[in-house]
A and B are shown apart, each in its own frame.
Chain A
Amino acid sequence: MIKGMKREVAKRVFSKEFNYSKFKVGGEGEKEAVYVLTPLGLRCNRLFIVGVLLEKEEVKPDSDMWRIRVADPTGSFLGFVSKFQPEALEALVDLNPPEIVAITAKAKLLERGDRVIPLIRPENINSSDFQTRDYWIVETAKATLKRIRAIENGEEKAVIEKYDPDLEEFRSAVINALMKLKEEQNILEKGREFEREDKERKEVKKDLGFEIDEEIVDLSDFDIGD
């Protein structure tokens, strides 16, 4: 990469939206990047994904080409990692499904006859954690709802022409993802409350012990006082 050049932003998109993509935009002239156009009007060249690595499988033995599947609450991303992404390939060796992973990847459309298959080519993969995954869902939900609103407001005429997306379907997928997350968080919250109560009980005990100690000190002072 030439320094000072604009870096492609890593877009946040759920697999459901991404997997409906059929069209590319851009790529006019050698210097312009190619973007995958999603049915909600996102132009993406690079993605940031936090999800569950479900499968990791070498396409052919010793081919060093790995097929991966990464799930989010709406479905899963299909990805391929090869020796052309050395950092991702190296990291993949240490990862064992199921595992939460954070990925930056190039968004691609593979054309097979009259079929178009959206897929990702990871540049970097790293093991991640539940908190990061949860925030990714929130962030991606927000970005997706914003795109839906833009279409509703008639800002994306070209997208409607190309895809005529079922906005309600995408919206309910986002809402379901959030509701599921909310449920999980409520369960977690209950666990935390229990922990807090438990801790409070212990603290009360500790306080009690401290007062008793003081009483002892007071008493002994009193005794020595003479």
Chain B
Amino acid sequence: MAEDRFQTIVNEIYERFKVYGVTRKEIESRLKLLLFEFKVPEEEAKRTIVNGLRKNYNIAKGDLKTPIVKISQIEPNQWVSLKGKIIQLWEPSSPTIAQTGLIGDETGTARFVVWSKSNKKRLEEGKSYLFEKVVVDEFMGIKSIKVTSVSDIKEISEEIEVKEERGEIEVVGALVAIQQNSGLLQTCKLCGRVVKAGICVEHGKVETNEVLRLRGVLDDGERTYDLTLNEKCISSLTGIGIKEARKLAEEHLDRSIVLMELKKRLFGKYLKVSGELRFRSLNASSVEFYRPEILKEVEKVLGEEGI
């Protein structure tokens, strides 16, 4: 084993136990013994040392400080602490999840899940938090951190510069999907979730706002963007604003007619979208049907082929 790898493991353990007065030397000698004399696998050696130190110093499992790591360093099944900024909150897909979304620091981003059972204070978008004793999980190559009842979350005031892909962009792509939560919708006045029959999953019977919006996927053949079009954008493409949408819904005694109409007019069309990109989310500020001069485009491609 390389010397620097050895030192990395020593440091990792030391960071977690230094507050209890554990010395680097102590860790080094135990690690040497297990790794070089007994040829124990690295993970087993680490676990054995951690368990041993905890026993020696009488540290309950839940109390053990987990090392503060950067998001780019997290690995599945690790218990870690990290500082991160809430970039986005998503609508939880299941009632067992209180909150889910995207968290980031200066090295990268990860998904996070706060289980309902953990009873944590609600996190807010744009605020930074210290997450202690969270466990790292991986699903389909995407790392996520899980907040359970043993985890602690504290809001912190330090400004975290998130390494992210964002800014004003212009993209051309095909609208390859239009989500069901599009059209003329009623949303909860408290949390903004889409409300069905006046009942918010979080807040029960609530007052609602009426909005016209479209959530869809813009796809340029190389990557996809989660696209949101507001009323203004929808109206500039289709002539359907909130007034027209309401009228349609009233005439058909059915709001879903608005979504059907939007699908008919927009699904499969090439759009040129300007807007703010935050990771995969593209919030359109303006949009138009993309109608390039085909002849010029064809001649360009043929030209590149020497024809």
Contacts and interface: CB of A to CB of B under 8 A. Distances in A.
Interface of A: 2-7, 9-12, 31-32, 46, 48, 50, 101-104, 123-124, 126-128, 131-132, 134-136, 138-139, 141-143, 145, 171, 175, 178-179, 181-182, 185-186, 189
Nearest to A140: B221
B187 interface: no
A189 B296 CA distance: 11
Contact of B222 (A9, A46, A141): A9
Nearest to A131: B291
B111 interface: yes
Interface in B209-247: 217, 219, 221-224
A4 B100 contact: yes
B301 A178 contact: yes
5 contacts: A5-B142, A102-B268, A124-B176, A128-B268, A182-B298
A145 B301 contact: yes
Find the residue from B91, B101, B139, B267 having the highest chain A CB count within 10 A.
B267
A2 B93 contact: yes
Contacts of B91: 3
Contacts of A10: 174, 176, 219, 221, 224
Contact of B223 (A9, A104, A141): A9
A143 B101 CA distance: 34
B176 A104 contact: yes
B177 A189 contact: no
A189 B293 CA distance: 10
A124 B177 CA distance: 8
B244 to A, nearest CB: 20
Contacts of A171: 305
Contacts of B124: none
Nearest to A13: B221
A132 B176 contact: no
A7 B100 contact: no
Interface of B: 90-91, 93, 100-102, 111, 139-142, 174, 176-177, 217, 219, 221-224, 263-264, 267-270, 290-292, 294-295, 297-299, 301-302, 304-305, 307
Given A126-B263, A126-B267, A143-B221, 13 more contacts: A4-B101, A4-B142, A9-B221, A48-B174, A102-B267, A104-B176, A135-B297, A138-B294, A141-B301, A145-B301, A145-B305, A175-B307, A182-B302
The B contact surface, by secondary structure, is mixed
A132 B269 contact: yes
Contacts of A135: 270, 290, 292, 294, 297
A7 B226 CA distance: 10
Given A9-B219, A126-B263, A128-B268, A138 B301 contact: yes
B269 A4 contact: no
Contacts of B270: 132, 135
Nearest to B307: A175
Contact of B268 (A2, A103, A142, A179): A103
A4 B224 CA distance: 12
Contacts of A123: 177
Contacts of B295: 182, 185-186, 189
B174 A102 contact: yes
A3 B111 CA distance: 10
Nearest to B295: A185
A101 to B, nearest CB: 8
Contacts of B268: 48, 50, 101-104, 124, 126, 128, 132
B90 A3 contact: yes
A10 to B, nearest CB: 5
A130 B71 CA distance: 48
A189 B299 CA distance: 14
Contact of A9 (B102, B224, B292, B301): B224
Contacts of A185: 294-295, 298
Given A3-B91, A131-B294, A48 B221 contact: yes
Given A135-B292, A135-B294, A186-B295, A175 B221 contact: no
5 closest A-B pairs by beta carbon, nearest first, are A102-B268, A185-B295, A126-B267, A134-B294, A3-B90
